[in-house]
Amino acid sequence: MHEERFSARTFDARGALTPSRLASVRAALRAHGGLFVQHTGLTSVAALQSVMPALGFGEATRFLPGGRASGAWQEKWVADGLRRLDYYPPELYLLPNNEVQYRHQSPRWVLFACLRPAEVGGRVFLHDARAVEAALPGALVSKLERHGLCIETGFLDEAHPEKRANYFQSWQERFGTDVPDEALARARAQRDDCDEAWWRDDGTLMTRIVLPARWAPGGCLRFPRVALDAPAARNGFRRFLLGDGASLSEAENEQLRAAFLATREGAPLGAGDLVLFDNHRFGHSREAFAGARELLVGMAVEAPERPEPLASFAPAPPNRYALKLDSGEELGARTLEGLDFACIARELQRHGAVHVRRTGLTALDEATLARLGFGADEAFAWGGAQCGRTHRRALTKHLRATDDYPRHLWLLPHNEVLYQRELPARLLFFSAAACDGRTFVHAATHLRAWLEARAPALVDALRTHGILIEMGFIDERHPQRSENYFRSWQERFGTTSREEAEARCRAATSQFDECWWREDDGCFTLMTRIRVPAFHGETMLFPRIPLDPPSLRNGFRRYPKGNGEEFSDEETNLLLHAFLATREGVRWEAGDLLLLDNLRYGHSREPFEGPRALGVAMAGKVRVG
């Protein structure tokens, strides 16, 4: 059995799938394409059936075809809408496939429900088709697209001397007749299941189907099957070919196997856990296992969904910035268990964000930070003690307290230090104790996809113009200084001379494009402006949104588009919805780590009331613009 660890997107149902949690799971499934739902409390088939309609697996969308295992090996249906997974010997590692990919019509959505986990092994892995394609040579992808995929499957005669070792249906069972001519006619009439059918000399009824390499033009790749053993009576003489009848070379099969192994996403399954995925975006595989294992599957076709109207984010006087977030359950971030440094580094590089739980850490010393990739040699030199916009307490040489913003605010998603052109490449957050205030991570790819589907003109404008950031550092002697949570200009630029402060600001060309003075009641605020891009290559950066107007309290801060044009109310509304729709949450327990790629992910923080003390380290450097 393999012991490698992999991360996966998880949703913690906290003991029960309430209606609000079911709605959150379904929304997360549509947004991300695959997730593991844990601690559901679903301990029976009846309980499982009760939640399936809310997850999109009701009677109206139910997908019924499929299932090739013989009744001699397993009874197929358990209850309406739920059947057992096809039997395959437990000692096999099943390479990834799309569910029921031996037909022209396959399910769009798949649900696996674990009623009893295996004693050892038996994890389900999901594989993002886009990641698989990225891991394959371009020439192989082109070859698959050009020829398509062919699957040949044979159904033995029930009297075949090797039928007992074959776990597929006999042709008599599969086609419901003992008459060979009638069986052949029925096979040829089932156009969703096969394109051709013929008899082998040993009385096996062979079928062949050719499928396009992609689910639809421009869609994800189907998962090419790789045979781990040669055609034989035991496996129904099955072959996985190209659409022209040719076989992939051993080198090409090895490239597929390597891509499949490199893209595994998984979590151990407990009783009641669910795995849900978009069958057109994800394949699934299964590791070998020992002991009894009971896994049920539900399948559904795509149901037309009515678009939900955008809710209004009308200002709430007197302070629009105190946006009240719902406290409902949210999709969890990718999670790992335990302090496996090699696994953490691999999963961070693969996915860009990973939440590490149960580390046993009570503090982060420099040796541990170095093993996590945040040692002295890699630390982000972000400008010294006076740099940044707010006070950051130093916890250790390389670990600082997070920014001290008022706890009633939802800090909207942002790329760290995207108020200058040099950003840290990676972030590490650490919680020594359980604390309030979830941290949300937001995938830049999901943000961009959400906006491009609803506001392509806004995305084009951001790409063309970028983003302006204007903010001011007020005088430390201002009578309302205590209401402002940014640094004073004296503190930020390390001088009490206005002339020297302005000169130092103008010299910091990676942090500011221009600066000027603003007078208020005889006190001066040093205003600054910088234009940063909204894209780094094809990666969309996170636009800032001011939810309250410029004022002394926020340093007269503005975040217009790069051409100086303010975001309209509709554009602000769309951005806020995009932020809400892409949240993946981290609930902080003692010793937890959160590691992020600072370009591929933004991060945000919900309002909170209780204690909260996080440390942050930054590593690497990326220049944008």
pLDDT digits (tens, 9 = 90+) for 312-328: 444 333 344 445 556 55
Q: Which tens digit of pLDDT belongs to each residue from 336-390?
A: 989 999 999 999 999 999 999 999 999 999 999 999 999 989 999 755 444 566 6
Same domain flag for 113 and 159: no
pLDDT at 221: 97
Answer yes or no: is 166 within a domain: yes
Answer yes or no: is 503 within a domain: no
pLDDT at 513: 95
Same domain flag for 242 and 164: yes
The 8 Å CB, 24+ separation contacts for 569-574 are 571/455, 571/458, 572/313, 572/545, 573/310, 573/312, 573/313, 574/310, 574/451, 574/454, 574/455, 574/458
Answer yes or no: is 517 within a domain: no
Same domain flag for 338 and 442: yes
Answer yes or no: is 516 within a domain: no
Give the contacts of 505 (CB within 8 A, at least 6 positions apart). Answer: 493, 512, 515, 526, 528
**Beta strands at 334-337 and 353-357: parallel, antiparallel or unpaired:** parallel
Q: Which tens digit of pLDDT belongs to each residue from 434-479?
A: 998 999 999 999 999 999 999 999 999 999 999 999 999 999 999 9
pLDDT at 402: 80
Same domain flag for 141 and 190: yes
Name which residue leads in pLDDT, 197 or 14.
197
Answer yes or no: is 122 within a domain: yes
pLDDT at 77: 85
pLDDT at 316: 37
pLDDT at 132: 97
Same domain flag for 354 and 428: yes
Number of H helices, E strands in the chain: 14, 34
Answer yes or no: is 430 within a domain: yes
| Residue span of the structural domain in which 199 resides | 132-254
Q: Nearest 5°: phi and psi at 69?
A: -70, 145
Same domain flag for 137 and 229: yes
Residue pair 603/427 in contact (Cβ under 8 Å)? The answer is yes
- Looking at residue 370, its amino acid is A
**310 pLDDT tier (thresholds 50, 70, 90):** very low
Average pLDDT over residues 256-266: 95
**581 pLDDT tier (thresholds 50, 70, 90):** confident
Same domain flag for 175 and 221: yes
Token pair in block for residue 510: 């990676």
First to last CA, the chain: 48
Answer yes or no: is 553 within a domain: no
pLDDT-wise least confident of 69-73, 110-114, 610-614 = 69-73
Token pair in block for residue 149: 């995929």
Q: What is the dihedral of CA 470, 476, 478, 481, to 10 degrees?
A: 80
Same domain flag for 170 and 247: yes
Could you say which DSSP state residue 325 is in? Answer: P
Q: How many domains does the chain have?
A: 3
- Specify the pTM: 0.83
Same domain flag for 147 and 245: yes
pLDDT at 331: 79
Same domain flag for 443 and 578: yes
- Rounded to whole angstroms, how far apart are CA atoms 278 and 34? 6
List C-alpha distances in Å: 96 to 47, 190, 203, 226, 292: 29, 26, 30, 9, 22
pLDDT at 301: 95
Same domain flag for 238 and 268: no
Average pLDDT over residues 609-621: 91
CATH number at residue 183: 3.60.130.10
- Rounded to whole angstroms, how far apart are CA atoms 509 and 402? 25
Token pair in block for residue 503: 């000169």
Q: Which tens digit of pLDDT belongs to each residue from 177-207?
A: 999 999 999 999 999 999 999 999 999 999 9
Mean pLDDT, the chain, whole residue set: 90
Same domain flag for 39 and 117: yes
Last residue of a domain, one of 225, 254, 283: 254
pLDDT at 485: 79
Answer yes or no: is 401 within a domain: yes
Q: Nearest 5°: phi and psi at 276?
A: -125, 140
